[in-house]
Amino acid sequence: MANCNCMNEFKEKLHSHLMQGVPEGSEIADLWGGTGWDNQVLSFGADGGVHVMLKYKLAYRAPKKNGELSKNFTRKECSLKMSYCPICGAKQGGDHV
């Protein structure tokens, strides 16, 4: 996070805790392969740092022309950046939306 180091500190603690049950010789995935925080964004703007995002998801099956519902769901999502650290409560940089 921009004004605290909670995300990095807790990431290390959680990673160590979860690694206790992993068999020796296992291949650990990288950030893009599934290891690390979900719902975070790296900001290159004036506020910089890593921020937590709260994601809202919507899934729906639209009606076809014949009136039946589509077989597959259409999915939409939107994320909101947290203004405060969810761990320590420190205000995060940047006042813009």
In this structure, which amino acid lies at residue 82? M
Question: Mean pLDDT, to the nearest integer, of 10-27?
Answer: 87
pLDDT score, position 28: 83
pTM above 0.75, yes or no: no
pLDDT score, position 2: 47
Residue-wise burial string across 63-96, b where 16 or more C-beta atoms lie within 10 A, e elsewhere: eeeeeeeeeeeeeeeeeebeeebeeeeeebebee
C-alpha angle with apex 87: 41 to 12, nearest 5 degrees? Answer: 70
Q: What is the pLDDT of residues 38-80, one digit of tens each?
A: 777 777 766 666 777 878 888 999 998 998 999 999 999 888 8
| 3-state DSSP assignment of residue 31 | helix
Ranges of each domain in the chain: 1-21+37-97
